[in-house]
Structures are given as C-alpha cells and as structure tokens.
Amino acid sequence: MKIEEFEMERLQSTWENRVKYNLSESGVHPLLLKELTNKDELEELISLRLGYSQTNGTIELRGAISQLYPGSDIDNILVTNGSSEANFISIWTNLKAGEELILMLPNYMQIWGLARSLGAKVKPFYLKEELNWAPDLEELKKIVSPNTKMIAVCDPNNPTGAVLSEKSIKGIVKVADRVGAWILSDEVYRGAELNGKETPGFWGKYEKVIVNGGLSKAYALPGLRIGWMVGPKKIIAESWSRHDYSTIAPGIINDYLASLALKPEMRQKILSRNRKILNTNLALVKKWLSNHADLFKLISPQAGAIAFIRYNLDINSTQLIIKLLHEKSVLIVPGDCFGMDHFIRLGYGAEKDYLLAGLDLIDETLKEIQSKG
Ligand SMILES: Cc1ncc(COP(=O)(O)O)c(C=O)c1O
C-alpha cells in the first residue's frame, strides 16, 4: 500500500516540540488534569485498576456521548483513540479500491490521504472564499455520480473555521440521498463555536450518516486521545470489529476522565472557558491583522481555534513558514498543506501572552520580506 505523506501532521510532529512558539495548533490551550477532577474523583482515578477498558468504550462514556446526539443510544457509539482513529476506521470500513469519495476541501487531509492510499477515487468539492467559505451546492450536484459511495465533510471546518448552514446541510443530504451515498461528517470542532451556538451537524438528518467527534479540540483535552464514531448500529458493530485490529480499546484512564469531562456541568464549564479564550484571542489576531490591512485578508472563523488567512506577499507559503521556523522559532501551517498557496493557518487557542509574542516575531519577518521586496 502506497501512502502519501500527511504533510501537516509531519510538519507538526517534527517541529512542534522544538520551536519556541507553536502557533500551528488547532485546539484550545489544554486543560490541566486537576481542573477536570474534584477530590473524590482524583481518589477514584488513582484507585483505578489498570486493566483493559471496555473495548468499545465504557457504558458510562458511551452514555454520556449519546446524550449529545438525540435519538442515539450506546449501541450507536464506538469510542476510539482520538477522532483520527474514528476517521481511520470509518474510511477503512466503508471504502474500497475503485469506489468514489467526494471530499469537502479545504479540509484536514487525513481522509484525503487515507482514501487515496486504499485506491479509492477522491473527487473534491470546494468551500468558496467568495461565499464566505460556504460550499457551492451546484458544484456538488455536478460531480456526484451513481458510483459515489461517500461524501465526507468537516463541520465546523478545518482550516477555515466555517460552519455549514442548515440550508447547506439539507442540500448535501439531498445530493447524497439521490445516489444512496454515505455522509461522513467530521465534527471534532463542534462545541467550539465563537457565538456559543452549537453547530447543528448531520446527526438525525439522514439514515446513512456517520458523525465523528472527540475531545481534542472543543474540549481542550487532546492528550486524552478520546474520540468517537456515531452511526447506525450495524455500521458501529462492523467498525467495532475493525477496532479490534487497530487499537483494541481506549485507555482506561482516558475513558474515565472523558466521562468526567462530558458530565453536563463540567462540559458547560469547559466549553465556556474555551469560548472565552477563543473570543479574546481572535480579537487580538484581528487587531494584529488590521495593522497589516494591505497584506492580509481573513474571513472570520465561526468556530475552532484557527484562522485561515490569505496573504499578499511574493513568497510561497512553505517558504514563508520555513523562514519563520528557522529564523524566529515560530511554527504556523502553510496553505500548501491544504493545496492553497498564499494562505497561512494560524492557531490562536494558545495563552494570550504566548500568542502575542509569536505574532510579534511574525511581524519582524513580514517587515524583513517587505523591505526586500
Ligand atoms: C478535522 C480534524 N479531524 C480530526 C483530527 C484529529 O484529532 P484527534 O485525533 O486529536 O481527535 C483533527 C486534528 O487536528 C482535525 O482537525
């Protein structure tokens, strides 16, 4: 099996722990373990027996997840190691060589690379900058075919932070229904909406829907490596038996802590803490951008901790990022990782002072490039 490099993850894996300012992250500044647990829970945690956990996720955790998807119960849920494993299993289970996948772009490129490595035919449909990163449904209608096995979307979207409207969701469902295609919706940023209004998402809108989510982004708990798949029971059962081959089970400590994070009161506390950080920091980023109004264009993200910024400088995005890396020890993601040169993806979920210090260093590089131009 030939596999293409997952460029963004490789870049992050290589550099994120070596740079002084990592602004490539797409999640919010992570929580501390002690912020998640009270005294009794901490006691329970250290008394946990470190055996295998229930391989598809404990009943407590699947119960808490199913509360987020009305009409589902614990047999509609498979707990995975991160939403990346949920994506992996969804594609591995449902897509074969020669089958057709329509993929929303730009996107987190995991599904793109995976589907292609399995020999599937991947057809893109685009979020349009001129439509404030909404999809053009006419384009989707044109490319769908009787061979389309699946349509994969990311909502809220990485990298643009755009949220699909109810109208777009309905439109995508209609197109999928016409040819009986599955919809795979990666909703790992759901809960990180800046206005606090949770993305409606695809669950309950169509029978052939798989929704993937997790705690890494909106919940600021990437280190727990807890994700999930929500789908029809038959698909979840099939995916569970694939999970036997991938990682068997989530870690028992992670499963326990995830159940705490999803208790209604704690969940609300986490989401409002994160929303506050995101709104404060996005305002700082916008102020910074306004100091360079001639250079940058941002369609304001509606969710997540990432800003996808178009820049007007005569330098390729990878070259710009490499310059920042080596000269200023700052890491951001080049638009090239999404097949879109002259964009950068800036993570703004970090602590305020850290973010500002990173932006100052980017400023220095911009001035140097401009003075040479
Ligand atoms: C859209 C999207 N899906 C999935 C993932 C994987 O996240 P994790 O496995 O940490 O939950 C990411 C990570 O950046 C992402 O942006």
Query: 264-290 vs 252-261: helix axis angle to the nearest 10?
Result: 80
Q: How far is the CA of 66 from the centre of ligand 1 (A)?
A: 20
Tens of pLDDT, residues 219-244: 999 999 999 999 999 999 999 999 99
Q: Which two tokens stand for residue 329?
A: 């020890």
Would you say 159 and 304 are in contact if contact means Cβ atoms under 8 Å apart? Answer: no
How many Cβ atoms are within 10 Å of 351's Cβ, its own excluded?
A: 11
Tens of pLDDT, residues 51-84: 999 999 999 999 999 999 999 999 999 999 999 9
3-class DSSP state for residue 265?
A: helix
Beta bridge partners of 166: none
Q: How far apart are CA 101 and CA 111, in angstroms?
A: 10
At 372 the pLDDT is 80
- To test ligand 1's pocket by mutation, which of 28, 188, 306 has the most ligand atoms within 8 angstroms of CB? 188
Ligand 1 pocket, 222 CB below 6 A?
A: yes
- What mean pLDDT do residues 187-202 have? 96
Predicted model pTM:
0.97
Q: How far is the CA of 83 from the centre of ligand 1 (A)?
A: 6
CATH code for residues 49-262: 3.40.640.10
- What mean pLDDT do residues 199-222 have? 97
Decide if domain 7-31+267-365 falls under CATH 3.50.50.60. Answer: no
Q: How far is the CA of 364 from the centre of ligand 1 (A)?
A: 31
Q: How far is the CA of 333 from the centre of ligand 1 (A)?
A: 15
Domain ranges of the chain: 7-31+267-365, 49-262
186 Ramachandran zone, left/alpha/beta (phi>0; psi -120 to 50): beta
Ligand 1 pocket, 31 CB below 6 A?
A: no
Q: Which two tokens stand for residue 156?
A: 């809220």
The answer, yes or no, to whether residue 1 has pLDDT greater than 80, is no
Q: Which two tokens stand for residue 195?
A: 């206005």
Chain mean pLDDT for the chain: 97
- To test ligand 1's pocket by mutation, which of 110, 210, 254, 333 has the most ligand atoms within 8 angstroms of CB? 110
